[in-house]
Each structure stands twice: as structure tokens, then as C-alpha cells.
Copies of this chain bind each other. A is one copy, B any other.
Amino acid sequence: MLIRQLFDAQTFTYTYLVAAAYGKEAILVDPVDSKIEQYLKLIKELDLKLKYVFDTHVHADHITAAGKLREMTGCTTILGAETGAPCASKTITDKEKITIEDIEFTALKTPGHTQDSYCLYTKGVLFTGDTLFIRGTGRTDFQAGNPEQQYDSIVNKLFTLPEDTIIYPGHDYNGNTTSTIYEEKNFNPRLAGKSIEEFKEIMNNLNLPNPKLMDIAVPANLKCGLI
């Protein structure tokens, strides 16, 4: 499987371009509006056909490239059914399959960071969006975020996947690129050995400022970035 992890240094966002191989259909996970030219150049070089753009949720920190990429390439844009964004070409629900040639992904509904958060799983690989980070998690204090739901999504859903599954997060602020289910189960300081009550206590006391772009990004992303 061809996976290209692409980093946006402005928002510390990871975007993923995934295909079976050069010359095949591709999916882009969580693309950033300001990077469209870079994605299109890479897609052309690798001779890929962009079939899907998948946003793991309506982002508050960056504007999605989904809508513009659809206009430019004819790809299908996907968001969770809970998003309430009529701009999406297609909405998905829990355990729905997304297929690019011989790769079958399963969309896993993982509310908590937002009510519309999904992860994308295929054997060996999990794109965790803002649900699970490397030694951290997405925040739960806006967009109907809920720490109890997030704990349930991570512990009772993601942590039941094979331990050697490689985790590709939606952000990293500390210079990490990948992890595994085993590592997060055992070393994630918010989760390892923590009860749901302890997790709730941590999440409700992060006292983070709102993302700089939040007031622009959320409404823009409800229009798939077409503002």
C-alpha cells in the first residue's frame, strides 16, 4: 500500500494520500485548503486517480480542501452522517465500507472530539483523525465534543483493533509521525491505566485556547471549504 503522510506546518495537520500503488485509485484523508496544488502535483506524478476525499470530521483549525478538489478532479467527498453538511457528496455511517480498487476501508464512528468524528481502518493501518493522537487525544470542549464518548470510542472501539495496527493521526504537535495501537494502549498518558472518570477529569481541565481559525474554519468546512 502506498501511503504519503503530508504535513501542514501552519496547523500541524497531517493529510494522507493512500492508494494500492502508482497508477491506481486514491483517497485523500483530511486535505488542507492551502495545499491543494501540492496534492494535485503529487497525484499527477504518482499517476493516481483521486476517487475520494474523506474528512474525518468538520475541522475547527483548518479549512478543508474537499470542495475545491471535487470541483477540480470530480472526486467524491465524504463526511460522517452526523455532520449535517449538505455539501458532502456522500455521507457515511458506522462500519460502512469505502473501497479504492482492492483496498477496503471500514469507517469507524468515534464521537468524542466532535459528534461527527470518524476513523478509517484497513488491515494494519488506522487513520485516527482527531480522535486519537500519538500520546494524546483530540480535545473535547467544542462542536458537541464529549470526553465520555471519546473514552468509549478509543478504549472500546479503537483499542480492540490488532495491537500492531499502525496509527496515523490527524495532527501531531511534538514531532511524531506514527504509533501503534499497542503503544497508545500502554503509553498514552491520558488513557493508559486511566478510568473514564480520570480521563474526564483530564479532558475537562485542559484549558486550551480556541483554535485561531475556528470562527472561520467551522462555517467554511460546513460548506466543504467552498467559501
Contacts and interface: CB of A to CB of B under 8 A. Distances in A.
Interface stretch (A68-76, A145-153, A154-162, A173-181): A173-181
A102 interface: no
A176 B6 contact: yes
A5 B177 contact: yes
Nearest to A173: B9
A175 B38 contact: yes
A183 B45 contact: yes
Query: Size range of the interface on A?
Result: 20 to 34
Given A175-B38, A177-B177, A187 B45 contact: yes
Contacts of A38: 174-175
A162 to B, nearest CB: 14
User: Which of A7, A8, A187 neighbours the largest number of chain B CB atoms within 10 Å of its CB?
Assistant: A7
A207 to B, nearest CB: 23
Contacts of A4: 176-178
B46 A183 contact: yes
Nearest to A12: B9
A123 interface: no
A122 interface: no
A6 B134 CA distance: 12
A170 B186 CA distance: 30
A97 interface: no
Contacts of A45: 183, 186-187
